[in-house]
């Protein structure tokens, strides 16, 4: 069954290294929390708030060892007033053997404000 694995993370400033490092961290942690292997992943959609323009977060995924064949796409979130700034969100489409209610979604750094009901303590 293909399920959507969600996650979000914030960065301190719009610097390429932070975009790449925190995107890779988020992807790795979501995948680990859900016991997913790279070959179980159908695709990944990554969005950023409009204030992130220094780098494509998809690059972080493409450079991870063994991930070069995973389809990854980036987009910007809607520019909504008072939205959480400097936020990277992911949606991983993966084959998993768990019910939707048992999927673990991770919200890291200040992104815990987005979904405190789903946020994991880190």
Summarised one tens digit per residue, pLDDT across range 10-59 is 999 999 999 999 999 999 999 999 999 999 999 999 999 999 999 999 99
In the set 12, 17, 39, 62, the catalytic residue is 62
Please confirm, yes or no, whether 107 is among the known catalytic residues: yes
Residue 25 falls in the annotated catalytic set: no
DSSP string, 7-43: EEEE-SS--HHHHHHHHHHHHHHHHHHTT--GGGEEE
Task: Express each pLDDT in 52-75 by its tens digit.
Answer: 999 999 999 999 999 999 999 999
Q: Would residue 6 show up in a list of annotated catalytic residues for this protein?
A: yes
Q: Exactly one of 3, 6, 22, 87 is catalytic; which is it?
A: 6
Identify the band that residue 77 occupies on the pLDDT scale cut at 50, 70 and 90.
very high
Is the entire prediction scored with pTM above 0.85?
Answer: yes
């Amino acid at each position: 069954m293909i399920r959507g694995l969600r996650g979000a993370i914030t960065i301190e400033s719009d610097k390429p290294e932070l975009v790449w490092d925190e995107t890779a961290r988020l992807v790795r942690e979501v995948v680990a929390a859900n016991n997913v292997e790279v070959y179980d992943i159908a695709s990944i959609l990554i969005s950023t708030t409009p204030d992130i323009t220094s780098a494509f977060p998809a690059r972080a995924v493409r450079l991870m060892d063994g991930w070069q064949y995973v389809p990854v796409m980036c987009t910007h979130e809607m520019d909504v007033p008072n939205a959480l700034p400097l936020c990277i969100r992911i949606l991983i489409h993966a084959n998993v053997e768990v019910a939707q209610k048992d999927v673990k979604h991770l919200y890291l750094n200040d992104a815990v404000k987005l979904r405190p009901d789903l946020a994991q303590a880190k």
